[in-house]
Amino acid sequence: MYFCYHSSPLGTLRLAGTDQALHQLFFPNAFAVGEAPDDWTYQEEPFTAARQQLDAYFAGKLKHFELNLAPSGTPFQRDVLKALQQIPYGETRAYSDIATSIARPKAVRAVGAANGRNPIAIIIPCHRVIGRNGSLTGFGGGLKAKQSLLNLEANHC
């Protein structure tokens, strides 16, 4: 597994993956869950496309990422992550909307938990999921970062 760090308006992001796919993108405060394992290798080359696309996204020039992704998770979690990728740029959905879209309308809390475990933040847009009443809810990067991402997209629709 390779990893690198990338500067963003939200702070330094950590990307991890292989030559074939991106497996993780974590916010700075998520580093507290652990530093990169000793058997990972620091290398920027596998993440050139991801870093370029992130820069374009933060500049308001990219609305859809075109990257090979390999998020970990249970089948249910992966279904939620796929549903998140269907939320259009600049739009939001409620957790109940995601639950309904994966044919599990009563699994709203489980959807929230899966959303919170998204291993590829920003690119799999978990920030686009909000409370049914329009309130911002928990976010791995913090609510300030979530609001920043939503504002960025609203300003470039």
Known catalytic residues are: 126
DSSP annotation of 36 reads P
H helix or E strand, kind and range, residue 67: none
| C-alpha–C-alpha distance, residues 75 and 52, integer Å | 30
- Rounded (5°) CA angle 124-126-131: 160
Q: Specify burial of residue 100 (Cβ count, 10 A radius: 0-12, 13-18, 19+).
A: middle
